[in-house]
């Protein structure tokens, strides 16, 4: 159990700023809701107001609360939730998010008796209202989420709150050290911290966390949707050329790829190019980029159950929840977020589908997994987008090397599984240690 967290001058100042920023948050939500209507849903929950008023009280002290801020964390949380339900069949899940895509994905995980709400804004009033409303038996923050008032409030209320699948890159470590008077006691107030890697654990300890264990990365336990993989396998039989996927592309990266394809028309002859943006609110923007670059465009949302037959088009994956389908279609994947200094996106799902990955130079958010994948022969590292395109084309042209890397991709993920069970066991143990006597 974490020690109570007293109100320090730094947290009092932070709390005053959080209170003053609430009008700005409301304005931001209204603006985001124009492009993503999900941000207009249940806005009062963001400020600690729940409807109906007695929501959660019948399960007081029984909630297993998991916070997954956005889409990626929610997918990791799904793996953990499955393991928890196996160990706690009667558990009631309280699932919170901060983004519309996270909430939409999280809705798929709910069962009868579960509740999904927004994580409250980190003001004293909103966090106190949230804690009083639900009083969960245990709370789990996914990966990087650190909120001073929420964490302090749980510690003071005797609610064990853990950071699971925890990671901290060097840039975030430096930022936390600069904010030491607020960040150090916040990390210290966590009841448990379960790190992904030893390097993460070292950095987390350096900023004040009491790391309980290094349990690995939950995302290695992903089980790709077999129905989607089967559909992809059937579709691939009808393809005249291999598919190269640009997975989870980020702003600025699509333009880099399109520029390379403009300069190398033979690349369109050698492969079918498929772009799947990381953020769904950018689907239309990326579609316009493709058209403006002079390429014919085919959108997944218009396919139905039949692949498009048009030659020399660029495909746009503008759907949610179909990454296994896209990875299953592809012979190789360029990994988004790694060709601009954005830290890279999760490469593990691609490898679990047996699809080798070409990484750019920027993978600091997944540094250890990326390096391990390269060393295992499941991924390649390219210096920039131009080199990435050439490396991907060379790989699909070499059937033997491609087959070898596909096998190594599957083996790599299988060898590193187990974090979900270990983390679920740790959560159950934390609940037992803090159960009312």
Q: CB neighbours (10 Å) of residue 130? A: 28
Show me where the domains of the chain are located: 9-15+29-221+418-434, 226-416
pLDDT at 308 over 50: yes
pLDDT tens for each residue of 332-382? 999 999 999 999 999 999 999 999 999 999 999 888 899 999 999 999 999
Q: Which residue has the higher pLDDT, 101 or 6?
A: 101
pLDDT tens for each residue of 179-193? 999 999 999 999 999
CA distance linking residue 221 with residue 343, whole number of Å: 22
pLDDT at 435 over 90: no
CA distance linking residue 158 with residue 154, whole number of Å: 6
211-214 and 296-299 beta bridge pairing: unpaired
pLDDT band at 54 (very low <50, low <70, confident <90, very high): very low
Q: What is the mean pLDDT of residues 400-409?
A: 97
pLDDT band at 59 (very low <50, low <70, confident <90, very high): very low
103 token code pair:
């909430």
Sign of torsion, CA 87 70 324 384? Answer: negative
The answer to whether 192 and 214 have CB atoms below 8 angstroms apart is no
Work out the mean pLDDT of the chain and round it to a whole number. Answer: 93
Q: CB neighbours (10 Å) of residue 333? A: 30
The three-point CA angle 378-380-385 to 5° equals 145
The answer to whether 217 and 416 have CB atoms below 8 angstroms apart is yes
The three-point CA angle 117-39-82 to 5° equals 40
Could you tell me which CATH number the domain at 226-416 has? 3.40.50.2000
Residues 6+ apart with CB under 8 A from 70: 97, 98, 99, 101, 102
CA distance linking residue 396 with residue 238, whole number of Å: 17
Q: Looking up tokens 């390269």, which residue turns up?
A: 374
Q: What is the mean pLDDT of residues 321-341?
A: 96
The three-point CA angle 185-190-195 to 5° equals 110
Per-residue confidence (pLDDT) for residue 321, from 0 to 100: 86
Active site residue 73: yes
The neighbouring-strand residues paired with 117 are: 96
Distances (CA, A) of 99 to 40, 46, 119, 222, 337: 11, 11, 10, 22, 19
Q: CB neighbours (10 Å) of residue 406? A: 18
Per-residue confidence (pLDDT) for residue 305, from 0 to 100: 85
Q: CB neighbours (10 Å) of residue 89? A: 7
CA distance linking residue 193 with residue 166, whole number of Å: 7
The DSSP code sequence of 142-196 is ETT---HHHHHHHHHHT--EEEEEE---HHHHHHHHHTHHHHHHHHHT-SEEEES
Per-residue confidence (pLDDT) for residue 52, from 0 to 100: 64
Q: What is the mean pLDDT of residues 266-295?
A: 95
Q: What is the mean pLDDT of residues 74-84?
A: 96
- Which of 51-65, 143-157, 423-437 has the largest mean confidence? 143-157
98 token code pair:
């901060």
3 token code pair:
């020690």
Q: What is the mean pLDDT of residues 325-333?
A: 97
Residues 6+ apart with CB under 8 A from 425: 87
The answer to whether 261 and 295 have CB atoms below 8 angstroms apart is yes
pLDDT at 51 over 90: no
Query: From the candidates 73, 105, 143, 145, which is the catalytic residue?
Result: 73
Burial of 123 (0-12, 13-18, 19+ CB in 10 A): buried
pLDDT band at 436 (very low <50, low <70, confident <90, very high): confident
CA distance linking residue 393 with residue 353, whole number of Å: 20
CA distance linking residue 73 with residue 219, whole number of Å: 9
- Range with the lowest mean pLDDT among 242-251, 308-317, 396-405? 308-317
Same fold? 9-15+29-221+418-434, 226-416: yes
Per-residue confidence (pLDDT) for residue 63, from 0 to 100: 93
296-299 and 192-195 beta bridge pairing: unpaired
9-15+29-221+418-434 folds as Rossmann fold (3.40.50)
Per-residue confidence (pLDDT) for residue 5, from 0 to 100: 77
Per-residue confidence (pLDDT) for residue 56, from 0 to 100: 52
Q: Which of 256, 273, 266 shows the shortest CA–CA distance to 342?
A: 256
Per-residue confidence (pLDDT) for residue 194, from 0 to 100: 98
């Amino acid at each position: 159990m974490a020690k109570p967290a007293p109100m320090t001058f730094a947290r009092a100042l932070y709390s005053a700023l959080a209170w003053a920023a609430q009008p700005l948050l409301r304005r931001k939500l209204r603006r985001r809701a124009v492009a993503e209507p999900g941000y207009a849903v249940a806005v009062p929950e963001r400020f600690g107001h729940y409807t109906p008023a007695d929501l959660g009280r019948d399960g007081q002290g029984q909630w297993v609360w998991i916070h997954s801020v956005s889409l990626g964390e929610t997918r990791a949380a799904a793996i953990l939730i499955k393991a928890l339900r196996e160990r706690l069949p009667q558990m009631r899940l309280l699932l919170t998010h901060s983004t519309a895509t996270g909430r939409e994905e999280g809705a798929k995980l709910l069962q009868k008796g579960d509740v999904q709400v927004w994580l409250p804004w980190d003001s004293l009033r909103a966090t106190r209202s949230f804690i009083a409303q639900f009083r969960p038996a245990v709370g789990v923050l996914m990966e990087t989420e650190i909120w001073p008032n929420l964490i302090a409030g749980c510690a003071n209320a005797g609610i064990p709150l853990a950071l699971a699948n925890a990671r901290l890159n060097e840039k975030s470590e430096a930022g936390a050290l600069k904010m030491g008077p607020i960040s150090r006691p916040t990390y210290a107030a966590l009841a448990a911290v379960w790190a992904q890697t030893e390097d993460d654990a070292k950095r987390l300890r350096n900023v004040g966390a009491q790391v309980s264990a290094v349990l690995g990365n939950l995302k290695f336990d992903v089980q790709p949707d077999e129905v989607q993989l089967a559909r992809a396998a059937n579709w691939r039989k009808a393809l005249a050329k291999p598919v190269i996927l640009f997975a989870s592309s980020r702003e600025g990266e699509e333009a880099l790829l399109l520029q390379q394809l403009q300069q190398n028309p033979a690349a369109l002859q050698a492969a079918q190019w498929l772009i799947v943006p990381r953020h769904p609110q950018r689907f239309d923007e990326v579609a316009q980029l493709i058209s403006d670059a002079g390429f014919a465009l085919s959108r997944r949302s218009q396919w139905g159950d039949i692949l498009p037959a048009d030659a020399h088009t660029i495909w746009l994956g503008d759907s949610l929840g179909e990454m296994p389908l896209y990875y299953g279609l592809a012979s190789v994947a360029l990994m988004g977020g790694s060709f601009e200094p954005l830290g890279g996106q999760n490469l593990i799902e691609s490898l679990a589908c047996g699809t080798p990955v070409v990484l750019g130079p920027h993978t600091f958010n997944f540094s250890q997994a990326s390096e391990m994948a390269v060393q295992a022969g499941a991924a390649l590292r390219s210096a920039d987008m131009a080199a990435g395109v050439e490396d991907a084309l060379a790989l699909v042209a070499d059937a033997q090397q491609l087959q070898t890397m596909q096998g190594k991709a599957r083996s790599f993920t299988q060898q590193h599984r187990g974090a979900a069970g270990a983390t679920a066991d740790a959560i159950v143990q934390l609940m037992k240690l803090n159960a009312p006597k």
